[in-house]
Structure 1
Amino acid sequence: MRVQQATAATGKAPLRREVVPTELGPCTVRLQQGTGGRRPASGTADVYLHGAAGSWTTFRALLPAASAHDRVLIDLPGWGESTTGARLEDFGIEAMARAVTEVLTSLGYRRWNLVGHSMGGFLALHIAAVQPERTASVATISATTFGVSGAARRPLRSLFTFPAFVGMLLAMRSMAVLGPAGSALVRAIGATPVMRPLMSPFFAEPAAIPAGVLRGLGDDARPASFAAAARAAAHYDFGQWRGIRSPALAIRGDRDVFTPQSDLVRLASIIPHVQTVTIPRCGHFANLERPQQVQRLLENLRSP
């Protein structure tokens, strides 16, 4: 495990950057110490898993609130600062889950509260199902589950029901063929005014989103990784989620183009004890548009 002493003053405590080896390649992690004392403050960590077009920075707006537990923000293999040496040819939900648990075990945590956005929510539910004894709670923010999985299997048939996802999938597949040039092109587009209309379907109030946030989403786009994640989700066995035993929360925005209300209804049929919440005037990124409300929901979930 490689450690860098430099810290970034974000939130109540600075962030510490570490690099942890995993079966999918080196994984870059940010750690924020909890109020419980020296790291690890306890055997339990609050773990944040980003989506297929994101990085740990997706959760910046949630960091200012104090936490009793350490926070672990992971750049998943293939995204953010975890791209060098990432083995995308071995990518799968199971392999990604093992990589996450490798990171947490290496850092000394025995249990965790999982928070996942979009693809990260999908991954969080899988980890909660296969590691029930180590999962204290699981919360998803606009998890891309049943609808997106079906669209990934049959994109052309889903063009009218999930146009935003199908359009992004086809664009990412095209950019992935170009290799590094495709990633550079996406980042270049992200730095132009074109990015706002392109991203507007994902927000309830796109004009209110700072330009820097939109540029960050462009910088974090990884076409090959996005395409690999879609392939992995396309043939997933959702019956595995019946093994989730921890308190569970599923959040979506009422204008979410990736996570329809029907996904939450179906999720509740598999996990009967899940709490489902639809946030009004909110799109796919509740962690960016409604961070205070998301934080309150997370705190309530973790309360005894």
Structure 2
Amino acid sequence: MTIGLQQEIAPASAPALRLHMIPTELGPATVRVQQGSGGGDPASGTPVVYLHGAAGTWTTFRALLPREPDADRVLIDLPGWGESTADVRLEDFSVEAMGRAVVEILDSLGYRRWNLVGHSMGGFLALHLAARWPDRAAGVAAISATTFGVSAAVRHPVRSLSGLPAFVRTLWAMRSMAALGPAGPALIRAVAATPVMGPLLSPLFADPAAVPGQVIRGLGHDARPASFWRAARAVALYDFGQWRSIRCPVLATRGDRDVFTPPSDLLRLSDLVPHVRLVTIPRCGHFANIEQPERVLRLLDELRVPSGRRRP
């Protein structure tokens, strides 16, 4: 069942976003849909589905949403994040359950095939969806997907301090905040309202001074420590071998100063995924969708994943 709630004004004066609340096995998910210029029956179109990371919500993709989309956009607050925290069943969280929840959402909206654009954990999830539903995935863009390195760091955090120190510190911080219950996110939001949050998040960006303050505050406001910790544990148990069944084109990127996605992750991905293009984005950290949105949009065009804008 899909319940349409209201219209929202989209970023940059683009067409309105239609807000839906869709039940899934992990709890209700808040979903925003923006109709592309083609219109028509969803079953005959291929939307661009945006999957955010464990440290964000759909809003981390704002800079990738220019005007006049040529395909429908589906922006999901995954169960446990953003506006999808009410009645969430984190005790049932796994990569497989989250994948099924995304498919439930897309089935409810009437979409049979999809182009997937995922950042960080969302890139990991996009690759999982392409492996489990190969006939339905038309393309994957994995932006700084947190895969092999993060999985090893969750299993062996002390051993990984030398290789992924920023992630291990974040993992420990999120685990500690999760142990505080509702007080954890409240504490992070309080810190996000102060100048302290900027230096705390600076390792995630190549040029922290260029990142708008509202973006930094937004990342702090959107922090969900319990969901982050559950997602990290799920990644640690994942069987990466199933990615050999991916059949669609895949774009995998990382920033050259990415502290969560090491170069070795992209190389190992190329050993598993048959049709993958690897790109390292210069002067960029973990959030290329925030720091280098125009470069990301060009890469999406080259992948032939509709980016939500008309070609000239």
On whether the aligned pair clears a TM of 0.5, the verdict is yes
Determine the C-alpha separation between the residues in 2 that align with 1:291 and 1:41. 29
Determine the C-alpha separation between the residues in 2 that align with 1:250 and 1:120. 12
What are the equivalent positions in structure 2 for 1:116-135 lying under 5 Å apart?
A: 116-135=118-137
Per the normalisation by structure 2, the TM-score is 0.95
What are the equivalent positions in structure 2 for 1:63-78 lying under 5 Å apart?
A: 63-78=65-80
- Any stretches of 5+ residues in structure 2 without a counterpart? 307-312
1:185 has 2:181 as partner:
no
Give structure 1 regions of 4+ aligned residues with deviation exceeding 6 angstroms. none
Equivalent position of 2:166 in the other structure: 164
1:45 has 2:83 as partner:
no
Determine the C-alpha separation between the residues in 1 that align with 2:18 and 2:190. 29
Contact 2:117-2:123 within 8 A present in 1 as well: yes
Counterpart residue type for residue 3 of structure 1 = G
More deviation in 119-128 or 265-274? 265-274
Q: CA deviation at 1:4?
A: 1.4
Equivalent position of 1:10 in the other structure: 11
Determine the C-alpha separation between the residues in 2 that align with 1:116 and 1:303. 12
Contact 1:116-1:141 within 8 A present in 2 as well: yes
Q: CA deviation at 1:41?
A: 8.1
Equivalent position of 1:199 in the other structure: 201
Determine the C-alpha separation between the residues in 2 that align with 1:107 and 1:66. 21
Higher relative contact order (CA 8 A, sep 6+): 2
Contact 1:34-1:41 within 8 A present in 2 as well: no
Please state whether the residue corresponding to 1:288 is helix, strand or coil: helix
Equivalent position of 1:213 in the other structure: 215
What are the equivalent positions in structure 2 for 1:1-304 lying under 5 Å apart?
A: 1-11=2-12, 12-38=14-40, 40=42, 42-302=44-304
Per the normalisation by structure 1, the TM-score is 0.97
Determine the C-alpha separation between the residues in 2 that align with 1:42 and 1:212. 38
Q: CA deviation at 1:6?
A: 2.8
Counterpart residue type for residue 89 of structure 1 = E
1:67 to 1:242, Cα distance in 2 relative to 1, 3 A: same
Aligned length: 304
Show CA shifts across 1:98-148 (max 9, x none): 000000000010000001000000000000000000000011000000000
Identity among equivalent pairs (%):
69
Please state whether the residue corresponding to 2:66 is helix, strand or coil: coil
- Any stretches of 5+ residues in structure 1 without a counterpart? none
Please state whether the residue corresponding to 1:259 is helix, strand or coil: coil
Counterpart residue type for residue 11 of structure 2 = T
Determine the C-alpha separation between the residues in 2 that align with 1:180 and 1:231. 20
Contact 2:113-2:138 within 8 A present in 1 as well: yes
1:169 to 1:303, Cα distance in 2 relative to 1, 3 A: closer
1:24 to 1:303, Cα distance in 2 relative to 1, 3 A: closer
Q: CA deviation at 1:192?
A: 0.9
Determine the C-alpha separation between the residues in 2 that align with 1:147 and 1:49. 20
